[in-house]
A and B are shown apart, each in its own frame.
Chain A
Amino acid sequence: MTKINKFEMRLSALSENESFARSCVAAFCLPLDPSIDEINDVKTAVSEAVTNCIVHAYNGAPDKYIDMSVTAEEGGRLTVTISDSGCGIEDVEQALQPFYTTKSDEERSGMGFTIMKTFMDELLVTSQKGRGTQVSMTKYFRGARNVDSRTDSSTD
């Protein structure tokens, strides 16, 4: 049976927590033996998701929370889920487009989701206007996905 290790945390939606959040995930995934580049990919993607919560979901309001749930599966699959209860995204497909931003006056690059998508292997964004957004990202370390598909034909 595959060994599964999990951690969950709730943190205030403050930008000074970004460094803490990405470092936590990086430290947690070390037993999966990722390469340095893979760790950096995960750190960057986590930073993007947490920034989105602070800047977009809560628009800088300091008394809000971000929930993180991280799962490490033996064999090298890491899943990070980051949720907020903020304003939600009206059109997720549009938000995922490169350079799309609702805050162009603030020097925002509009590349947050593009980086998450490029740096992780899977990205799933679900959102409800006025209720919040959940971003779920998966990374397969050192080609773990290929091993999975050889041994388990039920995965897609």
Chain B
Amino acid sequence: MQVKIYNTGIYTVAGLSGELDECAAAELRRKLDEALVLPDVKKNIVFDMGGVSFMDSTGIGVLLGRYKLLKQRGKNMFISNVNAQMDRILRTTGIYTIMQKVSV
């Protein structure tokens, strides 16, 4: 999976692209955990899923894991640009109760 990190307004955006399943999870985790500790990362972090064509519950595990890590560091995590397939998973698993949708 590709990860692009940039700042815009009050947000740091982590733009993801590819298919988020078991095959992609370990590498994505490593890339995000390296990038999101850098000093210019803002308090509000948005995971932009616009380039993600598929996600399963392994992806939910990755998102929840990042949410916990970021929360420990006092950061807020948001999510944006989810497609219909992902939206159904995020609703089924109740992720929106801890990670709000925003537009960036």
A binds B: yes
**B residues within 8 Å of A by Cβ?**
19, 21-23, 29, 54, 56-58, 60-62, 64-65, 84-85, 88-89, 92-93
CB within 8 Å for A43 and B54 given contacts A15-B23, A18-B22, A18-B23: yes
Q: How many chain A residues touch B (Cβ–Cβ < 8 Å)?
A: 26
Chain A residue contacts of B56, Cβ below 8 A:
44, 47-48, 51, 112, 115
Q: Is the CB of A112 within 8 A of B23?
A: no
Q: Is the CB of B21 within 8 A of A108?
A: no
1/0 per residue, CB under 8 A from B, across A40-53: the answer is 11011001100100
Whether A109 is near chain B, meaning CB under 8 Å from some CB there, is: yes
1/0 per residue, CB under 8 A from B, across A43-66: the answer is 110011001001100000000000
Q: Count the A-B residue pairs with Cβ separation under 8 angstroms: how many?
A: 69
Closest 3 CB pairs of A and B: A107-B65, A15-B23, A40-B85
**Considering the chains assembled together, what is the distance between the CA atoms of A136 and B89 in angstroms?**
20
**Considering the chains assembled together, what is the distance between the CA atoms of A22 and B85 in angstroms?**
14
CB within 8 Å for A108 and B61 given contacts A15-B22, A54-B22, A55-B22: yes
Chain B residue contacts of A54, Cβ below 8 A:
22
Q: Is the CB of B21 within 8 A of A47?
A: yes
CB-nearest residue of chain A relative to B26? A15
Chain B residue contacts of A114, Cβ below 8 A:
92-93
Chain B residue contacts of A48, Cβ below 8 A:
56-57
Q: Is the CB of A107 within 8 A of B21?
A: no
**Considering the chains assembled together, what is the distance between the CA atoms of A41 and B92 in angstroms?**
12
1/0 per residue, CB under 8 A from B, across A100-130: the answer is 0000001111011011001100000000000
Chain B residue contacts of A15, Cβ below 8 A:
21-23
